[in-house]
């Protein structure tokens, strides 16, 4: 009986590391919309492992996400790509798509958290591995335009912050 209970405990622990398919099926899809450039959203690339910005009005299944977990620790899963969004490390590190459980940074590299809501109505999308790194929509070298290169992170203290904030907007 003890062996059976131990096996059940190990199985239960394994199931909590990566959400099971039935739980993910019940999770509503969201669009991750930027707080500064409200006409832009996060999208996985169908062609490579990078994350890009696309206009909100673009009808693209690669721009639909499922948030697995609560606001302080969650995974962003892209059903069209069948991968999760991950942080690669360092200031201005790339944000990439990868198979769950494959991050060189360990599980925390695939986890994110929402910061507190700012007065403009959006929250920082922070790497759980390094909460000082936030998903950045700002074009490198230009404060007033969204990026046209792959998405990276940036520290909150390094310049303007509005483009480091996002909202998860439910999709119907």
Domains of the chain: 19-170 (2.80.10.50)
Q: What average pLDDT does range 130-152 have in this prediction?
A: 91
Q: What percentage of residues in the chain have a pLDDT greater than 70?
A: 84
In this predicted structure, the answer to whether residue 6 has a pLDDT above a threshold of 90 is no
What pTM, to 2 d.p., does this model score? 0.83
- pLDDT at position 158: 64
**For residue 68, what are the contacts with CB-CB under 8 A and spacing of at least 6?**
19, 23, 24, 27, 74, 75, 76, 77
Contact 95, 51 (CB under 8 A): yes
- pLDDT at position 160: 77
Q: Tell me the per-residue pLDDT of 73-122, one tens digit each, with 9 for 90 and over.
A: 999 999 999 999 999 999 999 999 999 999 999 999 999 999 999 999 99
Gap between the Cα atoms of 18 and 59, Å rounded: 28
Q: What average pLDDT does range 144-164 have in this prediction?
A: 88
Taking Cα atoms as reference points, which of 82, 134, 75 lies closest to residue 109? 75
Instruction: Name the more confident of 24 and 138.
Output: 138
């Amino acid at each position: 009986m003890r062996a059976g209970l131990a096996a059940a405990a190990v199985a239960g622990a394994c199931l909590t590391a990566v959400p099971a398919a039935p739980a993910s099926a019940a999770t509503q899809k969201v669009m991750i919309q930027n707080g500064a450039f409200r006409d832009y959203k996060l999208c996985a690339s169908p062609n490579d492992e990078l994350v890009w910005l696309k206009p909100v009005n673009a009808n693209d299944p690669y721009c639909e996400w499922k948030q697995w977990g609560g606001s302080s620790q969650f995974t962003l899963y892209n059903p069209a790509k069948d991968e999760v969004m991950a942080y690669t490390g360092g200031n201005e590190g790339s944000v990439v798509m990868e198979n769950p459980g494959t991050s060189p940074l360990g599980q925390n590299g695939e986890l994110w958290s929402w910061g507190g809501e700012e007065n403009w109505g959006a929250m920082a999308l922070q790497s759980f591995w390094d909460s000082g790194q936030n998903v950045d929509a700002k074009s490198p070298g230009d404060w007033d335009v969204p990026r046209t290169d792959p998405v990276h992170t940036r520290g909150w203290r390094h310049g303007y912050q509005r483009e480091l904030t996002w909202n998860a907007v439910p999709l119907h």
